[in-house]
Chains A and B, each alone.
Chain A
Amino acid sequence: MIQFQDLHKAFDGKQVLTGFTLDVKDGETLVIIGYSGSGKSVALKHVVGLLHPDAGDVTVDGRAVSTLDRPSLAALRREIGFVFQFAALFDSLNVADNVRLGLERRGLPADEIAERVREALALVDLTGTDDRYPAELSGGMRKRVGIARAIALRPRYMLYDEPTTGLDPVTSAVMDRLMVRTREHLGVTGVVVTHDMRSAYTVGDRIAMLYEGRVRQVGTVEEIRQTEDPVVRQFIEGRPS
């Protein structure tokens, strides 16, 4: 279970999160929606300790992330797969080596690493791209390698930062299907950050809207579709004010 507890974060005096509180239950996929620049990525990065909260904290299975020492933080990160918005693949490594890097860190035997790389690339339909470099791939393929890199580690949690942003509708649907498949395959608990409502309705069990630094509303997909809250309504319908 991931719990955002009264999270506060400001950059250079600019408040981004002001009491962000949200629980992610085991087994569910929770979607966080919100305007660009509202702090969705900032919230997600606190879960793996890439950012340090000004106040409040995130707990993962009871462990308060900002209080962990280095070994415990490393152990926590092993349980969490993070898929970055622009994939963040290592330019200097080919596809297979990108997927392999995290496995090598675990000190797994070579044949198991090879097997897991193969399996992860197969799961994202990228078998046979091992030797290609990130610069030679399309945006959608890069994101799929990013997913493969995360799932090869068999995490308990998957965090996706805008998995469909910038992709065409068909490729977006492919990404949605992959997220659903990953969840079925690994039984992971997921947090998906997006402003793509079609994707949110497809992959989410529940949806939370981040607005002005806090959760504006959280509910099941059905509850959000039926919402009476004017701010949430405006966002999900994509109406200019």
Chain B
Amino acid sequence: MIAHVGRSAVAGIKAVGRFGQFVSDMVRALSDVATWGRLTPVQMRRVGVDSLPVALFIAAFTGVVLALQASYTFTGTVPLYFVGTLVGKTMMLELGPVLAGLALAGRVGASMAAELGTMRVTEQVDALETLAYDPQSYLVVPRVLAGTAMFPVIVALAILTGILTGWLASLLLLDLSTQEFIKGLKLFYRFKDTWFGLFKSATFGFTITLVGCIVGLGTRGGAEGVGRSTMQAVVYSAVLLLMLDAFWAMVLLR
């Protein structure tokens, strides 16, 4: 029992050590601009294409549901224009970043883990090294930068989409006028609502792509290993994303 706990602790410490090493290698590779500079736009396009449709799809339906739930909850005691407040705040602060983030974990994180995992087990990563490239600056930096930069953009579009469908639902299903919806939307709005959601999104994008790269490059054992890595990347990044979400709420919203 004690031996088991000891072994787990040692394994845990080693994992943290490997993670730290990976991140410090990645930071060092930032100086190799010549390599990652031309590869980053390719990855940005890919992150956008992979995640934008699903993020907007989710946001569109969420906006409608939020409007209807708000009106259902208020039942006449709270003025109806608060629907605008609730839709706006919830989309910006929480559901925009988190739902899009979970979708991104499934799409982008998984595809990066599968791609880098395949490259690892087919020795393409070794081949890159023998050609005197650093896999960090050739593979990891472009992906992590792309995730960090693109994700706030995707989330911003998702938030706008959710507010738009929330407004349409209010207009068509709740007899709420446009003026009233906008009045509610502006009511408790603070600039922090915007930057908090987008900053959070950048950290989600960073985490998801970093986990995808670490898990992918750590793949062992053929096609089966690639499948295992893909699954692990989704699970780890989703769990980390939710923990990070709670962390930012505690640090920045109190």
Contacts and interface: CB of A to CB of B under 8 A. Distances in A.
A84 to B, nearest CB: 5
A50 B124 contact: no
Given A78-B132, A102-B131, A102-B132, A45 B126 contact: yes
A14 interface: no
B132 A74 contact: yes
A166 to B, nearest CB: 14
Looking at chain A, what size class is its interface with the partner chain? Answer: 20 to 34
Contacts of B119: 91
A52 interface: no
B122 A86 contact: yes
A20 B254 CA distance: 62
Interface residues of B, number: 13
Contact of A105 (B118, B123, B126, B131): B131
B176 to A, nearest CB: 50
Interface string A79-90: 011101110111
Given A82-B127, A88-B122, 4 more contacts: A50-B126, A74-B132, A77-B129, A84-B127
A148 interface: no
Interface of A: 45, 48, 50, 74, 77-78, 80-82, 84-86, 88-91, 101-102, 105, 149, 153
A93 to B, nearest CB: 10
Nearest to A146: B127
Given A90-B124, A91-B124, A50 B129 contact: yes
A88 B132 contact: no
A165 B131 CA distance: 23
B132 A84 contact: no
A85 B133 contact: no
B130 interface: yes
Interface in B127-186: 127-133
Contact of A48 (B118, B122, B124, B130): B130
A90 B127 CA distance: 9
A240 B123 CA distance: 31
A89 B124 contact: yes
Nearest to A50: B126
A66 to B, nearest CB: 15
A101 B124 CA distance: 13
A86 B123 contact: yes
A80 B130 CA distance: 8
